[in-house]
Amino acid sequence: MSAETYHAIRCDQRTNGERCGEEWGHPVRVANHRELRRHLKDRGWRRTRDGRDLCPKHAGHKAA
């Protein structure tokens, strides 16, 4: 029997020192976080050049 691994991505946007906290773990079978990010890109999530994950709410905003 193989154990299932749950992959989740959290938004890294900070506002007034508080993290957004939006988290997404899509109920699809993916092998790693890279595959999950690829899947979530179609749903508005973005990864910045400096490696931060942004939820759809913050993906269009410039980070401070």
Q: What are 3-53's pLDDT values in tens digits?
A: 567 788 899 998 888 888 788 766 667 888 898 899 889 889 999 999 999
What per-residue confidence (pLDDT) applies to 1? Answer: 43
What per-residue confidence (pLDDT) applies to 61? Answer: 59
Helices (H) and strands (E) in the chain, counts: 2, 6
Cα dihedral 32, 37, 39, 44, rounded to 10, equals 160
Residue pair 53/45 in contact by the 8 Å Cβ criterion: yes
What per-residue confidence (pLDDT) applies to 2? Answer: 52
What per-residue confidence (pLDDT) applies to 48? Answer: 93
pTM above 0.75, yes or no: no
